[in-house]
Amino acid sequence: MRMATTTAQNPGKGKVSANARAGDGISLARRRLATGPYLATELNGASIVDNAFAGGSAIILRKLLQLRLLVLAALLCFLWLLDTLSEWPVNYPVILGVIACGMAWSLWLLSRGGGDIQPQHVLRELIIDGIWLALVVFYSGRSENPFIYYFLVLIAIAATALRPRNAWLFSIAGILVYSAFLYLDINNHFDHIPDDYQFHLLGMWINFCGSSIVACYFISKLAVSLRSHQLQLSRAREETLRNEQLIGIGTLATSTVHALGTPLSTLTILLGEMRNESDTAEKRQDIDLMLGQISRCKDTMKKLSLLAEQESSEQLLEPVHELLDHLREHYGLNKPLHTPQFTADPSCSVNQLHQSLLLRHALINLIDNAIDAAKTFVAVDFQCDASVLQITITDDGPGMPKELLARWGKPQKSAKKSGLGIGAFLANSTIEKLGGTVAINAADGDTAAAPQCDAAKTRVLVTLPLANQRSQNLFQS
């Protein structure tokens, strides 16, 4: 297309306005396609929510370390006041050692900066907080020390940052620690503790247990609800970005069709005159080849012009075997030396799909990619059941590197010298729009491979709902 657009600038000044409009469309498309890497980074296997959790875990961990430093500093000040104004039994050497270790560990982690922070790192630091808090309370009054209620803060953080199961385990651990302290105090000092103070300690324990359970339950529910809402927003944002990309590609295609129409017509006339004036059969043969390629470009442009009208009109049904016959005919005419091996289940002859030119082009895109990567063969297999059509495309090429596999189906830089990097994206978007899915097989190693076929190195599985099943899905949605 770039060569054709350059040629379109040469016939004369009358073409400048068309090319300018095409340039505007291309610029708009490129601006919209610039969102591609952002979209590809957010969605793929490791989904957008996983990336959001990773970023949220890093923030929570940093704030947790800062809170620990603040609490330990406040505890130091309180110990100084306690030593000055009270005779409360406190094991100062042990507690000061715990405070020093906690501060040193927190400062070391903060000095390391970021990194790959996961929720399990937050869980680790919460466990460390629980350990140093238990040690401080154990050596300064046990169940009589009200500082044990700082466990409620840690439980609230755990319910917010961790999975509900881990949050409940942490909450139960806090209750068990408090219960153990109360048990030790009752066994050692029960006879010496007044009745009113016994009820006070028991009331503190009941209050702690109830507060822990209530806080963990409601905060976990709220956190799960917020994460679900975040997932919905992320999916909506991804869909919006993908639609913008498709609009940009459509603008680019429309501008290209408009810009290439006149230059191709001019070339057809000039080549016709050159053919009439040619004096050798070899020249006429070369000119006929060029005229055939120009005719092919015009046919493609006509198909692009008809796509929008065909997709917006009422869709007709087409038997699955007609789609298969069209693909066979396409590759028999256009790539007779590289025609894939087509196979189909007999049931495909009685099942139907909603007719779509976009679907045909999407499948051709995927098969072309397999042909470009293959060494000796490409196989395309159609399998039908009561509800879906499965199209499996396999090849014996070198496979797909993991870095490309992670971004497959998203706009990216093409691995092929002449590729634009949007073929798989367009195919994936088209099939998803029709209610289907596209999956590329991943095996052990650095490539995507089909393990059940010794020669196959890449397998792409396209799943499409049949006509009756797709109607039901659209009605339910």
Q: Determine the Cα–Cα distance for residues 321 and 349; give it in Å rounded to an integer.
A: 5
What separation in angstroms does the CA of 440 have from each of 70, 185, 370, 400?
50, 63, 12, 10
The model scores a pTM over 0.75: no
Q: What are the structural domains of the chain?
A: 1-311 (no CATH), 314-476 (3.30.565.10)
Q: What does the pLDDT read at residue 20?
A: 40
Q: What does the pLDDT read at residue 151?
A: 93
What separation in angstroms does the CA of 318 have from each of 79, 304, 332, 353, 367?
82, 20, 21, 5, 20
SS3 category, 129? helix
CA-only gyration radius of the chain, Å: 34
Q: What does the pLDDT read at residue 292?
A: 83
Which regions in the chain score pLDDT beneath 50?
1-55, 311-313, 418-420, 442-455, 469-477
Q: What does the pLDDT read at residue 294?
A: 83
Q: Per-residue pLDDT tens for 156-194? A: 999 988 889 999 999 999 999 999 998 888 877 666 667
Q: What does the pLDDT read at residue 226?
A: 86
Label the pairing between strands 388-395 and 458-465: antiparallel
Q: Determine the Cα–Cα distance for residues 59 and 51; give it in Å rounded to an integer.
A: 13
Q: What does the pLDDT read at residue 172?
A: 95
Q: What does the pLDDT read at residue 212?
A: 94
Burial 245-257 (b: 16+ CB within 10 A, else e): bbebbbbbbbbbb
CB atoms within 10 A of CB 2: 9
Q: Determine the Cα–Cα distance for residues 295 and 446; give it in Å rounded to an integer.
A: 42
